[in-house]
Amino acid sequence: MISEDILQDAVHALKEGHPVVFPTETVYGIGIAASKKKHSGMIYDLKGREETKPLSLHIGDLDLLNGSQIYFPRVNYFLMHRFWPGPLTLVIKKRSGEKMGYRFPSHKIFRRLVEMLGEPVLATSANKSGQAPALSLAKAREYFGEAVSVYLEGGTPEFQGASTVLDTSQYPPAWIREGARAKEIRAALEEFEAMGFLKKKILIACSGNTCRSPMAEGWLRKYLQEKGWSDSFEVHSAGTAALAGLPPSQEAIEVMEEEHIDISQKRARLIHRELIQESNIIFVMTAGHKDTILEQVSDAENKVHILDIPDPVGMDREQYRKTFELIRERILKEMTWLLKS
């Protein structure tokens, strides 16, 4: 085991804004203290790496994840539980809209370093850009020499290859790099997908299911996708007096096209008892729609929420635009309880 004195030297260097080379279970890494982000240019210079390629935030404890700053869709919790600490990097969307890679290495020396430092490390693999990551301390020294003042010896990495990288800011997650344990991670994602019945089901209802509810359905699906929450919710729409098979009105299609949302393939369907019963949350446009639903399922009272949106049928596209904006405003106001329900 490495001495505490050498670890203290590494902590001191990091606190001064200097890079340190350290072991992980995949490859050796090079990083700086997260609070010294302004010094990250040194790592790019040492590697000859383009600054458009971001560093990943390496944590040594889950308590170092700032949950108030990042979104946690359900798939993240699932993957963290299965593969952290370990060779999986998750690209997560921050509440600022920025994406960042998060890594929780299992190597005991790295975890002890972060424990002593008291904060995460912004890091990447220890190598020159375009060359193989260092699998030994000797190779890291060959790459960086005396330009790095502290090197932490951690033996030969367990996996001897890069971590797997998944972008979970979207659903399904996008594969950025298939690395260590990729086969197991892929199988776990298939298992997670098979658990889709655990998603909360949102039903949006109007009368004919050709304008208000299709616009709301299309927008809410896109919103949840952008926020990284589409693995937690399914969104559907129906009408209390719908003629099954009718397409959305042309005005509704055009208004949603302005939002880069295609609802043209949506077809109307009549609301029915089973659809009501299997839905966790139901948005309706008027009190009349709620009454119709409760006539079919009397105990659905607590999950039906009235948006109070007038019907734009027969009006021009500008009125449809105003209707959509009102729908978006009303649903956004409900998001706090929606995501906690």
Residues 162 and 261 in one domain: no
Residues 135 and 246 in one domain: no
pLDDT tens figures, 96-132: 888 999 999 999 999 999 999 999 999 999 999 999 9
Residues 231 and 266 in one domain: yes
Q: Give the residue carrying structure tokens 């935030």.
A: 57
Residues 175 and 228 in one domain: no
What number of other Cβ atoms are within 10 A of residue 321's Cβ? Answer: 17
Q: Which pLDDT does position 339 carry in this prediction?
A: 55
Q: Which pLDDT does position 193 carry in this prediction?
A: 85
User: Domain with 251 in it: what CATH number?
Assistant: 3.40.50.2300
pLDDT tens figures, 148-185: 999 999 999 999 999 999 999 888 899 999 999 999 99
Indicate which residue of 74, 206, 221, 231 is catalytic: 206
Residues 188 and 214 in one domain: no
Question: Over the chain, what HEC string results?
Answer: CCCHHHHHHHHHHHHCCCCEEEECCCCEEEEEEHHHHHHCHHHHHHHCCCCCCCCEEECCCHHHCCCCCECCCHHHHHHHHHHCCCCEEEEEEECCCCEEEEECCCCHHHHHHHHHHCCCEEEEECCCCCCCCCCCHHHHHHHHHHHCCEECCCCCCCCCCCEEEEECCCCCCEEEECCECHHHHHHHHHHHHHCHHHCEEEEEEECCCCCHHHHHHHHHHHHHHHHCCCCCEEEEEEECCCCCCCCCCHHHHHHHHHCCCCCCCCCCCECCHHHHHHCCEEEECCHHHHHHHHHHCHHHHHHEEECCCCCCCCCCHHHHHHHHHHHHHHHHHCHHHHHHC
Q: How far apart are CA 211 and CA 208, in angstroms?
A: 8
Which residue, 100, 114, 132, 176, is CA-closest to 28? 132
Residues 34 and 172 in one domain: yes
Q: How far apart are CA 7 and CA 13, in angstroms?
A: 10
Q: Which of 166, 194, 222 is the last residue of a domain?
A: 194
Indicate which residue of 9, 186, 311, 317 is catalytic: 311
Residues 87 and 69 in one domain: yes
Residues 215 and 180 in one domain: no
Please give the average pLDDT of every successive group of 10 residues along the chain, which has 341 residues: 92 97 98 96 94 93 77 85 96 87 96 96 96 97 96 97 94 94 96 78 96 98 86 93 96 97 97 94 97 95 94 96 96 70 45
Residues 214 and 88 in one domain: no
User: Domain with 93 in it: what CATH number?
Assistant: 3.90.870.10
Residue 333 lies in domain:
199-340
Q: Which of 170, 194, 218 is the last residue of a domain?
A: 194
Residues 175 and 227 in one domain: no
- Do 302 and 279 form a contact (C-beta atoms < 8 A)? no
Indicate which residue of 111, 112, 181, 212 is catalytic: 212
Give me the amino acid identity at 140: A
Residues 167 and 225 in one domain: no
Cα separation values, 239 from 77, 203, 236, 251, 292, Å: 35, 10, 11, 18, 10
Q: Encoding tokens for residue 272?
A: 């029915």
Q: Give the residue carrying structure tokens 């430092």.
A: 117
Q: How many domains does the chain have?
A: 2
Residues 127 and 231 in one domain: no
Q: Which pLDDT does position 204 carry in this prediction?
A: 98
Q: Give the residue carrying structure tokens 């009006």.
A: 315
pTM: 0.70
Q: Which pLDDT does position 133 carry in this prediction?
A: 96
Q: Is 311 a known active-site residue? A: yes
Q: Which pLDDT does position 72 carry in this prediction?
A: 76
**What percentage of the chain has pLDDT greater than the value 70?**
96
Q: Which pLDDT does position 341 carry in this prediction?
A: 45
Q: How far apart are CA 247 and CA 256, in angstroms?
A: 14
Q: Which pLDDT does position 94 carry in this prediction?
A: 84
Q: How far apart are CA 166 and CA 179, in angstroms?
A: 10
Q: Is 308 a known active-site residue? A: no
End-to-end CA distance of the chain: 48
Q: Is 63 a known active-site residue? A: no
Q: Which of 194, 228, 245 is the last residue of a domain?
A: 194
